[in-house]
């Protein structure tokens, strides 16, 4: 057969044109694949869309949680220091029982945490980190009460970290705890009533406190001294 320009045109016109073929939709493509190929295809072609959607969902969730948490008000923040009990400290007497005693609203909370601090040659990096955290919280006025042992109480008393309870408490409140006042030296070497001994109280027993003496002190720049004083009444007036 002689190949001529005319015959080439006829042959080309007879061949199927890919552009004239109907294009399959994404659904049709996926429908023609098995499950494994479908997963590979979706990830290969849409992974950035998927990752972008997931990131957007995470951002929305985090933003919603932050806004929700910001709607809560902390009415008391307490740190328990250096409790040596084999049983873990139970925060229920403070965070739930005392909260019920105060009849707090749904978005009013009491926060408690536990920490350990050693001093002098026994100090560790963990101790320095814990002290830095307490210092930062005190400066930010976000810490109200320390319930510590004699060493930690003396340490913060020497820095004028506690209120003088003989002047901070009312006469009625002092009558409840007069024989339990604990004295330590301030930065000038003067004794002052910096804490209250909780030894043998139902609150200390229920909380599993095991310091040499569980001593409650109110931070000097606490924004919730009324709530801290209410805690003292709750512990001793019931």
Higher pLDDT: 238 or 146? It is 146
CB-count burial class (<10 Å; 0-12, 13-18, 19+) for 53? exposed
My answer on whether 102 and 163 are in the same domain is: yes
Q: Are residues 77 and 185 in the same domain?
A: yes
Number of separate domains in the chain: 2
Is residue 1 very low, low, confident or very high in pLDDT (cuts 50, 70, 90)?
A: very low
Assess whether 82 and 147 both reside in one domain. Answer: yes
Tokens of 166: 């003989």
Whether residue 50 has pLDDT greater than 70: yes
Note whether 53 and 138 are same-domain residues: no
Query: What whole-number distance in Å separates Cα of residue 145 and Cα of residue 138?
Result: 10
pLDDT at 8 over 50: no
Are β-strands 145-148 and 73-81 bridged in parallel, bridged antiparallel, or unpaired? parallel
Q: For residue 184, which of 176, 192, 175, 173 has the smallest C-alpha distance?
A: 192
Determine the pLDDT at residue 7. 47
User: What pLDDT score was predicted for residue 145?
Assistant: 97
Domain boundary, last residue among 9, 33, 68: 68
What pLDDT score was predicted for residue 67?
54
CA geometry: angle 25, 30, 35, nearest 5 deg: 175
- Strand, helix or coil for residue 199: coil
Residue 200 DSSP symbol: T
- My answer on whether 114 and 42 are in the same domain is no
Residues in the chain: 238
Residue 64 sits in which domain range? Answer: 24-68
Across the range 19-32, mean pLDDT stands at 62
pLDDT at 195: 98
Q: Where are the alpha helices (DSSP H) in the chain?
A: 5-14, 26-31, 35-70, 92, 99-102, 125-139, 150-157, 165-168, 171-177, 202-207, 225-236
Using alpha carbons only, give the angle 107, 112, 118 rounded to the nearest 5 degrees. 160
**Mean pLDDT on 12-32:** 58
Give yes or no for a contact between 195 and 182, defined as CB atoms under 8 angstroms apart. Answer: yes
- Would you say 81 and 147 are in contact if contact means Cβ atoms under 8 Å apart? yes
Report the percent of the chain where pLDDT is more than 70: 79
C-alpha 230/C-alpha 207 separation (Å) is 18
Question: Does position 3 have pLDDT exceeding 50, yes or no?
Answer: no
Same domain, 94 and 144: yes
| 8 Å CB contact between 236 and 177 | yes
User: In this structure, are 153 and 196 located in the same domain?
Assistant: yes
Q: Are residues 209 and 112 in the same domain?
A: yes
Residues 44 and 149 in one domain: no
Mean pLDDT, the chain, integer: 84
The answer to whether residue 211 scores a pLDDT higher than 60 is yes
Closest CA relative to residue 157, chosen from 132, 180, 137, 183: 183
DSSP summary character for residue 112: E
The reported pLDDT for the residue numbered 35 is: 74
Is the residue at 13 inside a domain?
no
Helix count and strand count (H, E) for the chain: 11, 6
Where is pLDDT greater, at 170 or 58? 170
22 pLDDT higher than 70:
no
Q: For 71-80, write each residue's pLDDT tens digit.
A: 568 999 999 9
pLDDT greater than 50 at residue 146: yes
The pLDDT assigned to 169 comes to: 95
Tokens of 149: 């042992």
181-200 pLDDT, tens per residue? 999 999 999 999 999 999 99
């Amino acid at each position: 057969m002689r190949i001529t320009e005319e015959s080439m045109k006829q042959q080309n016109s007879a061949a199927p044109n890919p552009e004239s073929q109907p294009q399959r939709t994404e659904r049709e493509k996926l429908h023609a694949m098995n499950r494994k190929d479908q997963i590979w295809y979706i990830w290969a072609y849409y992974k950035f869309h998927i990752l972008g959607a997931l990131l957007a969902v995470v951002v929305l969730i985090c933003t919603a949680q932050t806004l929700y948490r910001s709607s809560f008000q902390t009415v008391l923040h307490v740190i328990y220091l250096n409790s040596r009990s084999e049983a873990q400290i139970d925060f229920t007497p403070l965070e739930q029982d005392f909260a019920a005693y105060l009849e707090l609203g749904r978005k009013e909370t009491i926060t408690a945490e536990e920490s350990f601090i050693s001093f002098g040659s026994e100090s560790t990096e963990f101790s320095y980190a814990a002290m830095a955290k307490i210092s930062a919280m005190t400066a930010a006025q976000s810490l109200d009460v320390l319930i510590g042992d004699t060493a930690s109480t003396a340490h913060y008393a020497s820095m004028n970290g506690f209120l003088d309870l003989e002047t901070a408490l009312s006469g009625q409140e002092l009558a409840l705890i007069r024989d339990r006042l604990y004295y330590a030296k301030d930065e000038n070497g003067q004794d002052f009533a910096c804490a209250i001994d909780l030894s043998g109280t139902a609150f200390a027993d229920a909380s599993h406190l095991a310091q040499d003496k569980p001593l409650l002190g109110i931070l000097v720049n606490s924004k919730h001294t009324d709530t801290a004083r209410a805690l003292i009444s709750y512990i001793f007036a019931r």
